Every structure is written in C-alpha cells, then in structure tokens.
Structure 1
Amino acid sequence: MDNKIKRSVSLYSYQQEYYEGKLDLEGCIRETAKTGATGIELLAEQMVDDFPVITPEFKETWFGWMKKYGTEPTCYDAFLENRIYDNRVCTLREQIHMMKRDIENASQLGFQTLRTLVSTPMDVIEGSIPFAEEKNIKICIEVHSPFSLNSGWADGYMEMIHKTGTKHFGFMPDFGIFCRQIPDILTAQAVRNGCREEVIKIVEDAFQERVSKGFMKIKYDLNLGRAHGEYMKANGYPKLMEALDKIHATPAELAYAGSTFDYTWCDPKDIIDNIQYIYHTHAKFYHMNEAYEETSIPIKEVVEAYKKAGYNGYLSSEYEGNRMLNDALEVDSIEQVRRQQEALRRAIEE
C-alpha cells in the first residue's frame, strides 16, 4: 500500500536541555529542523509563557518560526489537570471546558491533532468531540505502555467511536508498547543503584518469558490503578516477587523489577488492524546506539507495519532515556534525537 509517512519531533525529547536552559523553544525547533524532520509537537503548558492564553504576539512568532525553519505543527500535547483543587476533582463540565480550551489553542497554532493522556475520562472526550469536529482537530488518546491496541481497554474507546460515528477521535500509539527487551540504560542505572547480577538475570529472564508467551493485555476499567494492578498480576508480578524474596532483594532491586512492567511487547500487526483510527504516533525511544539501533525497540519492524498499513501520518520522536542517565551521566538529547530520526528515515525509505 502507498504511504506518506512523515517525521516529527516531540519537543518533550529535549526536556533535559530545556530544563537546564541550554535550549529555549526556538532552539528546540531549530534542532528539530536540523534532523530533517518537518513536524513539531508542542507541550504548550511547559513552553508557552502565557499559557493557557495564546497571545497575538506568540502566534505571530510561532508561525514565523515555522516559516524560518521549514517546519509545521503536528500535535498539541494536552494535559487534563482535573485535580487542581485540594478538596475535589473537577466536574465533568469543568473538564470539558479545559479540553475545549486546548482544542481552541491547538487550532490557533495550526495543529492537526491533540494528544490526550490515557487518564482522560471517556465522558470528557465524548463531550469534547463536537467542538473538535467544529475546529477540525483530531483528539488522540495515547496508547502508552502498559496499555495496548487490540485489548479490552482499546475496545472501550472503539465502542465510543462507533457509537458517535466521529472521525475526530482516535488513537496515538507510543513505541513503548513495542519493547522486545528491557532498555539497557534502565538496567545500567539499576546496577549503579546496587542491583546484583543475579537479580538482573532473574528480572530479565522474567521479561523475556513475558515476551515469548505473549503479554496479557490490560482491560478497560474506569479505575486505572486497579486495571494496572490486575495487568501486573496477570503478567507474573507475584511470581517474580516471590523469586526475589528468596534471595532477599533490596528495595532498589524490587523497584527495578517493578519498573520493568512499564514496558510491553505487542505485535506490530496491531497497527495494521487499527490503522484507520490512528492519527499520530509517538516514536518513543530510550537509547540509540552508534549503529543507529534502538536497543529495546525494533524500529524497522514497527515502521514496516506502518508502511504495510499505508499510514499517512507522522512518526514523532519522543526521547525518554534522559531519566535513566541524568542521575550520574551526561545527557545528549540532541544527538539521541538525531540518531533516531536517521533510523526512522532509513526505515521509511527502504
């Protein structure tokens, strides 16, 4: 099938340099353009000084940057802050108002899609769809590990899509659902934290067992904490804890073992099965080595599924390796993004 896969960068990727003041917003856009990517994914809450207001001055500057660097807006990352009060959760009406505010901001800045977090209640999304249709913005719920497509969780949202008949709500897969190995830099960090070699082996063997047997997928549940707990139980968490208890695992070792349940291996065929509902993608990555290989995610295999499905959207780099390095090592997000963008280019163009 024909595809028109394009490359984007989530500016979240440069969070280390942005936090340290090495890059400002324009600097992040400039570095993105240097990689050959044409798309910009923005975290407005973090990077727009007058948020939630989009001032005329910022809008003019924003589109000036897009022209200057030959880039275009791809996805507006929204965060539904429904617990801004100490004594209550925001009402449904208040949450829909926040979503409509972000949809309006996305429209003002020329975005095509809006990312919403997996924690966004379904009734908030459904209540926001008419405004999204009016503004021609596609709301995308992020399919972030341990959530997955072709699962009970995804079926709940699919039912809403079919019920409403909307073309303005769908999915945004995150490459973190395609981890065939535990990120090597996570394991290296665990070693720095004192994890013993025998613990590393037990944890890695348990992960590979989950990969070979196939992960039990997470179910739809309004209580995400309960859903996540059942997911871990179904995928062998109690058995792993029992094995570690026998060798008197330390708190750091138990924390490492638990963290590996944040990574999932799904068959890339899930992309093909759901392509008509996929409007944007986070090309999550943790570590690109000097050979332009992601050490836990088979980029070529995943991109091949997008190509086979005829995907006509963006693959947006999202670097998260910094948090596994910055306790002790220098982070170079710019080089990591450059390497991943080159790997994506090769995989797309082959």
Structure 2
Amino acid sequence: MKSQIKRGVSLYSFQEELFLGQLSLEDCVSFAAGIGANGIEILPEQNIASFPNVSDAQIAELHAMLARHGAHFTAYDMFLDTKRRKDRLMSDEEQVESIHRDLILCNRLGIRNMRILIFVRPDILEKCVPMAEKLDVHMGVEVHAPWHLEHAWIQRTIEVADRLNTRHLGILPDMGIFMKHYPPVMRARYERQGARPEVCDFIVDQHEQKVMCEYTIFEVAVKMQGNKAEVAMAESLRHNPYANPKRIYDYAPYFRHIQAKFYEMTEDCRDPALDYDAVIPELVRAGWDGTLSSEYEGNRWIQDVMEVDSREQVRRQHVMFERLIAKAEADLAGAAA
C-alpha cells in the first residue's frame, strides 16, 4: 500500500532565524522544497508584515515565490486576539468577526486548512461554520498538549461537527501530545539553570512511568525541597503528556493537517522524545492523505549555549518521516499478503 501522506514545514520552525534576520521567508521556502517538504504552513500575523491588511499584489508575490520553488501553502495559523481593548475581553460577536476575517484571508491565499487555537469555544466555531463552508476552508482545532484527542473539550468540537454534518470543522493534532520520553534537550536546559542531576533523574523516571504529574510536582517541591529549576522541570510534566497513538486511526477522518511538533533530532535522524514510531504506522493504516508539517520548537531550549540550526533539525525530521512511512507501507503490505 502506497501512502498518500504529504510532507511540509511550518514557518514557525524557523522562528529563531527569521527573528534574527538570518533567513528570509523565501530562504525558508526554498529550503523546505529542497528537502521534499513542499507544503508550507504560514502564520500570517508573523510572516506578512502588513497583516491583516494584505493586498492582492502581496498575495500574488507570495504565490510567485512559492512557484519559484515548486511549493504551495497547506495551512493558515490563526491567532484570535483575546482582547480588543485594554479594559475588556472580546465579545462573542467580535470573536466571530475575527475568525471571519481570517477565513476570508485564508481563502484569498488559496489555503483550505486553518489552524484554530484550542481555547476558541465550540459554540463560537459553530457560528463560523457557514462562512467556512462558503469559502471551503476546514477549521481544525489544534489538539495541543496537555489536551488530547479524547479530552472532553476536543470532544465538544467533534460533537458540533457531527451534529452539523460538516466537512469544514474538525481537529488538527499537534504531535506534542505523544511525548513518550522526556526530551533530553529540556532536561539539559534545566540542569544549566541549576537543577541537580539526581532530581532530574527522578523527574525523568516519573515521566517514563507515566506517574500523575501532580504527584511528581509534590515530591520535588515539598519532599525534596526542590530549587526553582527543579520545580519548573517537574511542573513541565503538566504540559508533556503521552496520549495513545492508536487513537490516531479512529480520529483521522476529522483532520487534514498535522503539526509535527519536535524538540530535537539526533544525528541518526531519530526523535528521542515523541513517539513517531507508533504514530506514523497509524496514519498509514488509516489511509490518511494530509500533510505532516514540521514544527520545530527546540530553539528555546538551546539558544543559551549554542547557535540554533533549525534547517538541519527539520532536515533530520524529514529523513525520519521518509524512513518511517516506507517501513509502515512495507509492514502493511506484508500483513495483507
């Protein structure tokens, strides 16, 4: 069975170099296309200086740039403002208006997938479905750690999509929910901040055993009298869960795009933390044909001691993707024979 999974990159992966002016937007697109990751996930608020006032000429320039490198847009990351003025939160009507604005720009950019931040209420999204259907844009609520595919909040969105029988509302998984092992790059940063190796060992072991994070935090903060770095490392467990990768198969009909989160790749192109070895076979088995979009977030864990090389990290992840997809295809074909 030949997989239809596509590969891409979120421009968020290059946030370090883009912020420092070391890379241009076109540099990022050129690199991504050069490693076979032709799908580009864009963050208009970060990547288009004039946002939200984007002209037709600017859009034409963006598409010309993509065409030069054989690339295309795959997803639009929206960021709903939580406050319109300093003195109050946005009203429901203002939230709907804000999402409508993003849906329109998403459509103008020729993009059919829009990442919705997880805190947007399902009833707000329900009001946006008619516009999403009119513009043919799929609104995918980001399933971001510590939420997971079966979390009650995520289920509310799925219930709305099922009730409306719409193809334009669903989810968009962030692979951070599949953290099987505590990332070595995170541990190293906490150690540089003063965490004792023996306390780090304890926290990593607790995560490995999947002990409820609040117990670990109590042990470190109270019983072990942990210092600031140690308590912070223990508290990070709240945001680094390990969901069941096998549920990917069941929820595949609800998503068209994946944010392939990662924090580091080893020199032999393996992820020491996130369980892609289990996730990729489920995607292949499900016949999923969306885009795996690299989302590198390791820069913040190493920028105090070394120069960030986001491109090399992304390259390694795509070597891993090619290997895991090919293996999953072969395993599935062997099982069917």
Q: TM-score, normalised by structure 2?
A: 0.94
Partner AA of 2:116 in structure 1: T
Match of 2:318 in 1: 341
Match of 1:76 in 2: 76
Match of 2:243 in 1: 266
Deviations 1:118-164 (A, max 9, x none): 11122221111110000000000011111111232222112111221
C-alpha displacement at 1:198, in angstroms? 1.7
Aligned residues: 327
Matched-pair contact (CA < 8 Å) for 2:143–2:171:
yes
C-alpha displacement at 1:236, in angstroms? 3.8
C-alpha displacement at 1:239, in angstroms? 4.8
1:114–1:245 distance in 2 versus 1, CA, 3 Å: same
Match of 1:209 in 2: 209
Gaps of 5+ in 2: 328-337
Matched-pair contact (CA < 8 Å) for 2:217–2:231:
no
Q: How far apart in 2 are the matches of 1:64 and 1:317?
A: 23
C-alpha displacement at 1:169, in angstroms? 0.6
Q: How far apart in 2 are the matches of 1:84 and 1:340?
A: 39
2:267 pairs with 1:295: no
Q: TM-score, normalised by structure 1?
A: 0.90
1:286 to 257, 263, 266: 263
Deviates more, 1:14-23 or 1:340-349: 340-349
C-alpha displacement at 1:334, in angstroms? 0.8
Match of 2:185 in 1: 185
Matched-pair contact (CA < 8 Å) for 1:206–1:240:
no
Match of 2:66 in 1: 66
Matched-pair contact (CA < 8 Å) for 1:287–1:321:
yes
Match of 2:15 in 1: 15
SS at match of 1:118: coil
Q: How far apart in 1 are the matches of 2:231 and 2:217?
A: 10
Matched-pair contact (CA < 8 Å) for 1:181–1:207:
yes
Match of 1:96 in 2: 96
Query: What pairs up with 1:207-246 in 2 under 5 angstroms?
Result: 207-210=207-210, 235-246=212-223
Match of 1:32 in 2: 32
Identity among equivalent positions (%) equals 35
SS at match of 1:81: coil
Q: How far apart in 2 are the matches of 1:192 and 1:162?
A: 48
Q: How far apart in 1 are the matches of 2:114 and 2:43?
A: 10
Deviations 1:148-205 (A, max 9, x none): 1123222211211122111101111111011111111000001101100121122112
Q: How far apart in 1 are the matches of 2:150 and 2:230?
A: 32
Matched-pair contact (CA < 8 Å) for 1:2–1:310:
no
Query: What pairs up with 1:147-166 in 2 under 5 angstroms?
Result: 147-166=147-166
C-alpha displacement at 1:2, in angstroms? 5.9
In the TM superposition, structure 1's runs of 4+ consecutive aligned residues that sit over 4 Å from their partners are: none
Q: How far apart in 2 are the matches of 1:173 and 1:335?
A: 24
